[in-house]
Amino acid sequence: MINLFFTWLFNKLDASSLQRMFFFIEIGIIFSHFMREVIHRSAILLKDLRQQILTFILLTIAFSFFITCIVSPFEQLYQLRTNAEGQPVSYISLFITNLISFIPLLLIWNAIYFMYHFIIKTRKQEMDTIKLEALVRQLELNTIKAHVNPHFIFNSLNGIRALIDEDPERARRAITELSNILRSSLSAEKAETVSLQQELRIVKDYLALESMRFEDRLKVEFDIDEKTVNNPVPPMMLQTLVENAIKHGISKQMKGGVVKIISDIKENQHELLVQNTGRLNGFSKHTGFGIASTKDRLSLLYGEKASFEIKQLNEDLVEAKVLMPVVSTITRISAVSDVA
Amino acid sequence: MRAIIIDDERLARTELRKLLQEFPEVEIVDEASNAEEGVQKIETHNPDLVFLDIQMPGKTGFEMLQELDHAPTVVFTTAYDDYALKAFEVNALDYLLKPIEPKRLADAIEKIRKVSNGQSIQRNSVSFSPTSMLGEHDQVFVKDGERCWFVRLSEVRLFESVGNYAKVFFGPNKPLILKSLNALEERLDPKVFFRANRKHIVNLQMIEKVESYFNGGLLLELKGGEKIEVSRRQTVKFKEMMSL
């Protein structure tokens, strides 16, 4: 299209005949496509800017020569161009005039072509950067959200307000528990791992608050092997699993249910289980983030050595299971010898 | 105003009761801790006002409302719920965020008092029990995906049968409700709602134009532009009603 326009413009300025115009249009279309093909094949657009400009100028001159070489004999043959006296011009002067007129034409065509691609590329890069930034922000936000559910915070605060009259002592304790949870969720991003013991303290505070809300609808059981309490775990991971157990399990049950937390060592791995009353149906849709983030965190920390799964254990019991390496002095030594 | 509080957390109910002590005009007649209980208690007490939690075990507050033939005036209470809040913003339903701010509660009650004063004359003329006919001033709760509405029956121009569901036409919306056309017909006031054919019930006050149709039937054009054919049998009935 661009070429067509320029050919037309060029012709008009030259005040030429219709025949010549068609001739030029055909030549223009064929050569601009040919040139485009060359640009594509040599992948010039992917090179850096200085190289692009250099190739662009060289390409223009080379093609002008090329076109002139082809066009001039034709013009000579059909006597398309005449001088002021109506006599056919000599081949040399025809060649030179053609060359001089083709160079600026191709220069403009190429300039537009490169400029267009340059702008498109810059804009795409800008868009990509913005998208990436938004994604990072979203991810950060999601991690925080996944850690403490605002529904829980506000419901707890509402419960505490009711308790202030009913049981001031319990209300005071509840505020301490809530503070602990909020504080640890804020610092969770900083530490890579915490000891299970530390994590359990938060989980206990959390469950105490949920018991305040659910009252006799929530029963909590712990079965913690003493050998595991010092094993490092990702911060707020167990907390997230317990929160999901309440949100998707207990809170959906009219009569409530049990949340059981088990920690032990099985086949030289640290096994962490969260069991809750409830059913798994339609689960993945809502906890997509909880499950995905748990898996991501585990694989970032331990690679292939850790695993996570969630399944229906029996009729009305759901189990989330995390397997992690036992990090002790012995395994550290064996890890070193593995490398060696 | 007689009110019922529906919330699964006892402490939340206690807290709301306490806040409502400031409003002697609101009398709390009962409480419920889940949707099932809620439906029962609404049907026995027929309250003027319901404070309803959205997240509850079993059924949500929205699902509970969809089960009721006649929706009471509702103020939703919720702690934090992206999904539900979106529905509220779209339709400007009244809701309170827990922990409830006393000022917001006062505003909500004031608003309801104003609305109910305007309607009390019309309401008193109809004997009011849950099994009675639904009049044009009664409202139903309709939910369609993320959006939900309290729709006054006087605003509904057409019910269309779609399998076991009925499509409710009002304003620019036409969401589905899980009720058969036959069940609806039994409950709707026959002075206002007319069964035009097997698939449609029209609101007589929403008819824009009546044209005769082939086979001696009629074609009704509604205010929303829908054209509804009246079956031959119903045409006789329609003419009778209209000539009165």
Extract the tokens encoding B177: 């409700």
Q: How confident is the model at residue A330 (pLDDT cuts 50, 70, 90)?
A: very low
- Does the beta carbon of B15 lie under 8 angstroms from any beta carbon of chain A? yes
Strand, helix or coil for residue A168: helix
Domains of chain A: 2-140 (no CATH), 150-339 (3.30.565.10)
Of A24-33, A162-171, B103-112, minimum mean pLDDT range: A24-33
pTM, 2 dp = 0.66
ipTM of this model? 0.77
A to B CB pairs, distance under 8 Å? 59
The model's pLDDT over A201-244, given as tens digits with 9 standing for 90+, comes to 999 999 999 999 999 999 999 999 999 999 999 888 898 899 88
If chain B, 244 residues long, is cut into consecutive pieces of 10 residues, what is the mean pLDDT of each piece? 94 95 95 94 92 90 87 88 66 81 93 75 42 75 82 91 91 88 88 92 92 86 91 88 75
C-alpha–C-alpha distance, residues B29 and B50, integer Å: 10
pLDDT of residue B123: 44
- Does the beta carbon of A278 lie under 8 angstroms from any beta carbon of chain B? no
A 201-220 residues with CB below 8 A of B? Answer: 212-215
More confidently predicted of B244 and A38: A38
Share of chain A above pLDDT 70, in %: 76
Extract the tokens encoding A233: 């775990």
Q: How confident is the model at residue A145 (pLDDT cuts 50, 70, 90)?
A: very low
pLDDT of residue B122: 44
Q: Which of B131, B111, B102 is nearest to B49 (CA)?
A: B111
Q: Is the pLDDT of residue A284 over 60?
A: no
C-alpha–C-alpha distance, residues B228 and B201, integer Å: 9
Q: How confident is the model at residue A117 (pLDDT cuts 50, 70, 90)?
A: confident
Cβ(B78)–Cβ(B53) below 8 Å = yes
pLDDT of residue A159: 94
On chain B, the residues whose CB falls within 8 A of the CB of A213 are: 9, 11
What does the radius of gyration of chain A's CA atoms come to, in whole angstroms?
37
Element containing residue A313 per DSSP (H, E): strand A307-314
pLDDT of residue B127: 40
C-alpha–C-alpha distance, residues A268 and A276, integer Å: 25
Extract the tokens encoding A200: 């359990």
Q: Is the pLDDT of residue A274 over 60?
A: yes
Q: Is the pLDDT of residue A335 over 50?
A: no
Cβ(B85)–Cβ(B39) below 8 Å = no
Phi, psi of A3, rounded to the nearest 5 degrees: -65, -40
Q: Which of A186, A296, A322 is nearest to A242 (CA)?
A: A322
Phi, psi of A116, rounded to the nearest 5 degrees: -55, -50
Q: Would the CB atoms of A154 and B80 count as touching at under 8 Å?
A: yes
Average pLDDT, chain A: 79
On chain B, the residues whose CB falls within 8 A of the CB of A175 are: none
The model's pLDDT over A242-266, given as tens digits with 9 standing for 90+, comes to 988 998 889 888 889 999 999 999 9
Q: How confident is the model at residue A275 (pLDDT cuts 50, 70, 90)?
A: very high
On chain B, the residues whose CB falls within 8 A of the CB of A171 are: none
On chain A, the residues whose CB falls within 8 A of the CB of B32 are: none
Task: Quote the minimal CA–CA distance from B58 to chain A in Å.
Answer: 6
The model's pLDDT over A286-318, given as tens digits with 9 standing for 90+, comes to 455 677 778 877 887 788 889 999 989 888 899
C-alpha–C-alpha distance, residues B32 and B61, integer Å: 12
Domains of chain B: 2-125 (3.40.50.2300), 151-243 (2.40.50.1020)
Chosen for mutation from B8, B11, B54 (greatest number of chain A CBs closer than 10 Å) is: B11
Question: What's the N-to-C CA distance of chain B in angstroms?
Answer: 39
Extract the tokens encoding B224: 């929303």
C-alpha–C-alpha distance, residues A245 and A249, integer Å: 5
Q: Helix, strand, coil shares of chain B as percentages rounded to 5?
A: 35, 30, 30
State the virtual CA torsion across A292, A295, A299, A300 in degrees, nearest 10.
Answer: 50
Chosen for mutation from A153, A161, A218 (greatest number of chain B CBs closer than 10 Å) is: A161
Q: Would the CB atoms of B18 and A165 count as touching at under 8 Å?
A: yes
More confidently predicted of A173 and A56: A173
Smallest Cβ–Cβ distance between A155 and the set B36, B58, B98 belongs to B98
Q: Is the pLDDT of residue A339 over 60?
A: no
Extract the tokens encoding A113: 């072509």
Task: Quote the minimal CA–CA distance from B233 to chain A in Å.
Answer: 48
